[in-house]
Chain A
Amino acid sequence: MESKDYLKDLNEIKDLMNKSSRFISLSGLSGILAGTYALIGATIAYWLVTEYSYGTLTLDGYIFRLCVLILLLVAFLSAITGIYLTTKKAKKNGVKIWDATSKRLIINFLIPLIVGGLYILIILDQQKYGQSGALMLIFYGLALVNASKYSIGDIRYLGYIQIILGLICAMLPGYGFWLWVIGFGIMHIIYGTWMHFKYDTK
Protein backbone atom coordinates (compact mmCIF):
# COMPACT_ATOMS: atom_id res chain seq x y z
CA MET A 1 0.00 0.00 0.00
CA GLU A 2 2.78 2.33 0.97
CA SER A 3 5.03 1.17 -1.82
CA LYS A 4 2.40 2.26 -4.32
CA ASP A 5 2.72 5.82 -3.03
CA TYR A 6 6.49 5.60 -3.28
CA LEU A 7 6.22 4.46 -6.86
CA LYS A 8 4.03 7.45 -7.59
CA ASP A 9 6.61 9.68 -5.91
CA LEU A 10 9.39 8.27 -8.05
CA ASN A 11 7.39 8.74 -11.24
CA GLU A 12 6.62 12.30 -10.27
CA ILE A 13 10.30 12.98 -9.58
CA LYS A 14 11.28 11.62 -13.00
CA ASP A 15 8.56 13.64 -14.66
CA LEU A 16 9.62 16.87 -12.95
CA MET A 17 13.27 16.33 -13.78
CA ASN A 18 12.39 15.94 -17.44
CA LYS A 19 9.91 18.80 -17.53
CA SER A 20 12.25 21.22 -15.80
CA SER A 21 15.37 20.49 -17.82
CA ARG A 22 14.30 19.37 -21.28
CA PHE A 23 12.29 21.07 -23.96
CA ILE A 24 10.26 18.24 -25.43
CA SER A 25 7.76 20.00 -27.64
CA LEU A 26 9.83 19.62 -30.82
CA SER A 27 7.55 18.64 -33.63
CA GLY A 28 8.20 15.49 -35.65
CA LEU A 29 6.26 16.90 -38.56
CA SER A 30 8.76 19.75 -38.91
CA GLY A 31 11.51 17.15 -39.42
CA ILE A 32 9.52 15.57 -42.25
CA LEU A 33 8.96 18.95 -43.89
CA ALA A 34 12.63 20.01 -43.47
CA GLY A 35 13.66 16.79 -45.19
CA THR A 36 11.18 17.43 -47.98
CA TYR A 37 12.48 20.97 -48.54
CA ALA A 38 16.03 19.60 -48.68
CA LEU A 39 15.03 17.00 -51.29
CA ILE A 40 13.20 19.59 -53.42
CA GLY A 41 16.17 21.96 -53.13
CA ALA A 42 18.62 19.20 -54.04
CA THR A 43 16.51 18.21 -57.06
CA ILE A 44 16.46 21.79 -58.36
CA ALA A 45 20.21 22.17 -57.77
CA TYR A 46 20.93 18.86 -59.51
CA TRP A 47 18.81 19.88 -62.47
CA LEU A 48 20.47 23.29 -62.68
CA VAL A 49 23.97 21.83 -62.56
CA THR A 50 23.35 19.08 -65.13
CA GLU A 51 21.35 21.29 -67.52
CA TYR A 52 23.27 24.54 -67.40
CA SER A 53 26.69 23.87 -65.96
CA TYR A 54 27.72 20.62 -67.75
CA GLY A 55 27.65 18.70 -64.46
CA THR A 56 30.38 20.69 -62.76
CA LEU A 57 30.32 23.62 -60.38
CA THR A 58 32.73 26.51 -60.31
CA LEU A 59 32.88 28.78 -57.32
CA ASP A 60 32.47 32.07 -59.14
CA GLY A 61 29.77 30.88 -61.50
CA TYR A 62 26.19 32.07 -61.72
CA ILE A 63 24.86 28.54 -61.13
CA PHE A 64 26.93 28.21 -57.98
CA ARG A 65 25.37 31.35 -56.58
CA LEU A 66 21.92 30.01 -57.41
CA CYS A 67 22.76 26.76 -55.57
CA VAL A 68 23.89 28.70 -52.50
CA LEU A 69 20.65 30.66 -52.64
CA ILE A 70 18.66 27.42 -52.75
CA LEU A 71 20.66 26.11 -49.79
CA LEU A 72 19.93 29.23 -47.73
CA LEU A 73 16.26 29.10 -48.72
CA VAL A 74 16.02 25.45 -47.58
CA ALA A 75 17.66 26.32 -44.26
CA PHE A 76 15.42 29.35 -43.78
CA LEU A 77 12.19 27.52 -44.63
CA SER A 78 13.15 24.60 -42.37
CA ALA A 79 13.83 26.95 -39.45
CA ILE A 80 10.55 28.84 -39.95
CA THR A 81 8.55 25.61 -40.22
CA GLY A 82 10.29 24.19 -37.16
CA ILE A 83 9.59 27.29 -35.08
CA TYR A 84 5.96 27.48 -36.20
CA LEU A 85 5.10 23.82 -35.60
CA THR A 86 7.01 23.67 -32.31
CA THR A 87 5.20 26.77 -31.02
CA LYS A 88 1.91 25.15 -31.94
CA LYS A 89 2.82 21.93 -30.16
CA ALA A 90 4.05 23.78 -27.07
CA LYS A 91 0.76 25.65 -26.88
CA LYS A 92 -1.13 22.39 -27.14
CA ASN A 93 1.00 20.92 -24.34
CA GLY A 94 0.38 24.04 -22.28
CA VAL A 95 4.07 24.92 -21.90
CA LYS A 96 5.80 28.20 -22.62
CA ILE A 97 7.77 28.33 -25.85
CA TRP A 98 10.43 30.67 -24.50
CA ASP A 99 11.56 29.43 -21.10
CA ALA A 100 14.79 28.26 -19.50
CA THR A 101 14.65 24.87 -21.25
CA SER A 102 14.08 26.14 -24.77
CA LYS A 103 16.70 28.87 -24.36
CA ARG A 104 19.26 26.33 -23.24
CA LEU A 105 18.32 24.05 -26.12
CA ILE A 106 18.71 26.80 -28.74
CA ILE A 107 22.04 28.04 -27.34
CA ASN A 108 23.55 24.58 -27.20
CA PHE A 109 22.31 23.77 -30.68
CA LEU A 110 23.61 27.01 -32.18
CA ILE A 111 27.15 26.96 -30.78
CA PRO A 112 28.49 24.09 -32.95
CA LEU A 113 26.28 25.16 -35.84
CA ILE A 114 27.52 28.75 -35.98
CA VAL A 115 31.15 27.74 -35.45
CA GLY A 116 30.76 25.24 -38.31
CA GLY A 117 29.05 27.78 -40.54
CA LEU A 118 31.78 30.36 -40.00
CA TYR A 119 34.48 27.76 -40.56
CA ILE A 120 32.91 26.71 -43.87
CA LEU A 121 32.69 30.35 -44.98
CA ILE A 122 36.36 30.89 -44.07
CA ILE A 123 37.63 27.89 -46.05
CA LEU A 124 35.33 28.71 -48.97
CA ASP A 125 37.00 32.10 -49.03
CA GLN A 126 40.34 30.28 -49.26
CA GLN A 127 39.04 28.33 -52.29
CA LYS A 128 39.01 25.05 -50.36
CA TYR A 129 35.46 24.02 -51.14
CA GLY A 130 35.94 20.27 -51.56
CA GLN A 131 35.06 19.51 -47.93
CA SER A 132 32.19 21.91 -47.35
CA GLY A 133 29.49 19.23 -47.81
CA ALA A 134 31.23 16.96 -45.30
CA LEU A 135 31.71 19.82 -42.84
CA MET A 136 28.04 20.81 -43.02
CA LEU A 137 26.99 17.27 -42.13
CA ILE A 138 29.58 16.92 -39.35
CA PHE A 139 28.86 20.24 -37.63
CA TYR A 140 25.10 19.76 -37.95
CA GLY A 141 25.50 16.31 -36.38
CA LEU A 142 27.57 17.75 -33.53
CA ALA A 143 24.94 20.45 -32.96
CA LEU A 144 22.24 17.77 -32.69
CA VAL A 145 24.26 15.65 -30.27
CA ASN A 146 24.97 18.71 -28.16
CA ALA A 147 21.31 19.77 -28.14
CA SER A 148 20.03 16.29 -27.31
CA LYS A 149 20.96 16.75 -23.65
CA TYR A 150 18.30 19.43 -23.42
CA SER A 151 15.56 17.85 -25.46
CA ILE A 152 14.17 14.49 -26.47
CA GLY A 153 17.18 12.18 -26.19
CA ASP A 154 16.49 10.53 -29.56
CA ILE A 155 17.90 13.54 -31.40
CA ARG A 156 21.31 12.21 -30.42
CA TYR A 157 20.96 9.28 -32.85
CA LEU A 158 20.11 11.55 -35.75
CA GLY A 159 23.24 13.50 -34.81
CA TYR A 160 25.43 10.38 -34.83
CA ILE A 161 24.11 9.42 -38.27
CA GLN A 162 24.87 12.90 -39.67
CA ILE A 163 28.40 12.79 -38.25
CA ILE A 164 29.05 9.35 -39.79
CA LEU A 165 27.65 10.50 -43.15
CA GLY A 166 29.87 13.59 -42.90
CA LEU A 167 32.98 11.49 -42.32
CA ILE A 168 32.11 9.21 -45.25
CA CYS A 169 31.55 12.35 -47.30
CA ALA A 170 35.01 13.61 -46.32
CA MET A 171 36.55 10.39 -47.66
CA LEU A 172 34.42 10.33 -50.82
CA PRO A 173 33.93 13.98 -51.78
CA GLY A 174 32.70 12.87 -55.21
CA TYR A 175 29.56 11.49 -53.59
CA GLY A 176 29.07 14.63 -51.47
CA PHE A 177 25.82 15.55 -53.16
CA TRP A 178 24.25 12.15 -52.56
CA LEU A 179 25.41 11.92 -48.94
CA TRP A 180 24.01 15.41 -48.41
CA VAL A 181 20.69 14.25 -49.89
CA ILE A 182 20.66 11.21 -47.57
CA GLY A 183 21.64 13.24 -44.49
CA PHE A 184 19.56 16.36 -44.80
CA GLY A 185 16.73 14.92 -46.89
CA ILE A 186 16.02 11.27 -46.30
CA MET A 187 17.26 11.05 -42.69
CA HIS A 188 15.11 14.01 -41.64
CA ILE A 189 12.05 12.42 -43.20
CA ILE A 190 12.69 9.03 -41.59
CA TYR A 191 13.49 10.61 -38.25
CA GLY A 192 10.56 13.03 -38.36
CA THR A 193 8.15 10.22 -39.20
CA TRP A 194 9.49 8.13 -36.34
CA MET A 195 9.18 11.05 -33.88
CA HIS A 196 5.73 11.90 -35.14
CA PHE A 197 4.40 8.46 -34.39
CA LYS A 198 6.34 8.09 -31.14
CA TYR A 199 5.42 11.42 -29.55
CA ASP A 200 2.90 13.45 -31.53
CA THR A 201 0.10 11.00 -32.08
CA LYS A 202 -0.48 10.20 -28.44
Chain B
Amino acid sequence: MSIINNINKVFDHRIRLGIMSVLMVNEYADFNMLKELLDVTDGNLASHTKALEAADYIKVEKQFIGRKPNTRYSCTKLGELEFKKHIEALEKIINKH
Protein backbone atom coordinates (compact mmCIF):
# COMPACT_ATOMS: atom_id res chain seq x y z
CA MET B 1 0.00 0.00 0.00
CA SER B 2 1.72 3.11 -1.23
CA ILE B 3 -0.60 5.41 0.66
CA ILE B 4 0.49 4.08 4.01
CA ASN B 5 4.12 4.41 2.93
CA ASN B 6 3.67 8.11 2.39
CA ILE B 7 2.43 8.69 5.92
CA ASN B 8 5.56 10.04 7.50
CA LYS B 9 6.28 8.90 11.05
CA VAL B 10 8.30 12.04 11.76
CA PHE B 11 5.19 14.15 11.21
CA ASP B 12 3.00 11.94 13.33
CA HIS B 13 2.38 14.57 15.96
CA ARG B 14 0.22 17.65 15.85
CA ILE B 15 2.93 20.00 17.13
CA ARG B 16 5.36 18.83 14.45
CA LEU B 17 2.64 19.26 11.83
CA GLY B 18 2.06 22.73 13.24
CA ILE B 19 5.73 23.72 13.04
CA MET B 20 5.90 22.52 9.45
CA SER B 21 2.66 24.32 8.51
CA VAL B 22 4.00 27.64 9.77
CA LEU B 23 7.37 27.16 8.06
CA MET B 24 5.76 26.21 4.74
CA VAL B 25 4.16 29.63 4.35
CA ASN B 26 6.79 31.75 6.10
CA GLU B 27 10.39 32.21 5.04
CA TYR B 28 11.36 31.68 8.65
CA ALA B 29 9.87 31.80 12.13
CA ASP B 30 11.60 32.35 15.44
CA PHE B 31 11.10 30.33 18.60
CA ASN B 32 8.69 32.76 20.23
CA MET B 33 6.55 33.09 17.14
CA LEU B 34 6.16 29.30 16.97
CA LYS B 35 5.50 29.13 20.68
CA GLU B 36 2.71 31.69 20.47
CA LEU B 37 1.12 30.21 17.35
CA LEU B 38 1.18 26.64 18.60
CA ASP B 39 0.48 27.46 22.23
CA VAL B 40 3.07 25.06 23.66
CA THR B 41 5.71 25.17 26.39
CA ASP B 42 9.40 25.85 25.71
CA GLY B 43 10.53 22.31 26.45
CA ASN B 44 7.81 20.74 24.37
CA LEU B 45 8.55 22.92 21.36
CA ALA B 46 12.30 22.40 21.67
CA SER B 47 12.00 18.62 21.65
CA HIS B 48 9.85 18.66 18.52
CA THR B 49 12.06 21.11 16.64
CA LYS B 50 15.02 18.87 17.51
CA ALA B 51 13.28 15.85 16.03
CA LEU B 52 12.52 17.74 12.82
CA GLU B 53 16.05 19.07 12.69
CA ALA B 54 17.47 15.57 13.14
CA ALA B 55 15.46 14.45 10.11
CA ASP B 56 16.87 17.40 8.14
CA TYR B 57 13.38 18.78 7.56
CA ILE B 58 14.08 22.13 9.17
CA LYS B 59 17.12 24.35 9.53
CA VAL B 60 18.05 26.08 12.77
CA GLU B 61 19.93 29.37 12.91
CA LYS B 62 21.13 30.84 16.15
CA GLN B 63 21.95 34.50 16.21
CA PHE B 64 21.95 37.53 18.44
CA ILE B 65 19.54 40.42 18.13
CA GLY B 66 21.34 43.04 20.19
CA ARG B 67 22.34 41.05 23.24
CA LYS B 68 19.41 38.68 23.14
CA PRO B 69 19.91 35.23 21.65
CA ASN B 70 17.41 34.43 18.96
CA THR B 71 16.73 31.07 17.37
CA ARG B 72 15.01 30.99 14.06
CA TYR B 73 13.81 28.10 11.99
CA SER B 74 13.21 27.57 8.31
CA CYS B 75 12.05 24.68 6.19
CA THR B 76 14.56 22.71 4.09
CA LYS B 77 13.80 21.58 0.52
CA LEU B 78 13.61 18.01 1.78
CA GLY B 79 11.20 18.98 4.56
CA GLU B 80 8.98 20.82 2.10
CA LEU B 81 8.86 17.79 -0.19
CA GLU B 82 8.17 15.30 2.58
CA PHE B 83 5.50 17.52 4.12
CA LYS B 84 3.69 17.80 0.79
CA LYS B 85 3.80 14.02 0.37
CA HIS B 86 2.46 13.57 3.88
CA ILE B 87 -0.44 15.96 3.28
CA GLU B 88 -1.32 14.24 0.03
CA ALA B 89 -1.37 10.89 1.82
CA LEU B 90 -3.65 12.31 4.51
CA GLU B 91 -6.00 13.69 1.88
CA LYS B 92 -6.16 10.35 0.10
CA ILE B 93 -7.05 8.53 3.30
CA ILE B 94 -9.83 10.99 4.03
CA ASN B 95 -11.23 10.76 0.53
CA LYS B 96 -11.32 6.98 0.73
CA HIS B 97 -13.74 6.95 3.67
Residues of chain A whose beta carbon lies under 8 Å from any beta carbon of chain B: 2-3, 6-7, 9-10, 12-14, 16-17, 19-21, 99-100
Q: Provided the pairs A9-B14, A12-B14 are in contact, do residues A17 and B93 lie with their beta carbons within 8 angstroms? A: no
Chain B residues within 8 Å of A9, by CB? 14, 17, 90
Main secondary structure of the interface of A (DSSP, over half): helix
For A95, the closest partner residue in chain B by CB is B36
- Nearest residue, chain B, Cβ from A8: B14
Assess the A10–B29 pair: CB atoms within 8 A: no
A3:B97 contact, CB within 8 angstroms: yes
B24 within 8 A of A: yes
Q: How many residue pairs between the two chains, A and B, have CB atoms under 8 Å in the bound complex?
A: 47
Leading 3 A-B pairs by shortest Cβ distance: A21-B25, A16-B21, A20-B22
* Whole-angstrom CA separation of A9 from B37 in the bound complex: 15
A5: min CB distance to chain B, Å: 9
Q: Chain B: which residue is nearest A18 at the CB level?
A: B25
Set of chain B residues within 8 Å of A12, measured between Cβ atoms: 14, 17-18, 21
Tell me if B91 is interfacial: C-beta within 8 Å of chain A. Answer: yes
A13 touches B97 (CB 8 A): no
* B26 in contact with A100 (CB, 8 Å): yes
Known: A3-B94, A12-B17, A13-B17. 5 other contacts (CB 8 A): A9-B90, A16-B37, A20-B26, A20-B33, A99-B33
Chain A positions within 8 Å of B97 at CB level:
3
Can you list 14 A-B contacts with CB-CB less than 8 angstroms, sorted by A residue number?
A: A3-B96, A9-B17, A10-B91, A12-B18, A12-B21, A13-B18, A13-B21, A16-B22, A16-B38, A17-B22, A20-B21, A20-B33, A21-B25, A100-B33
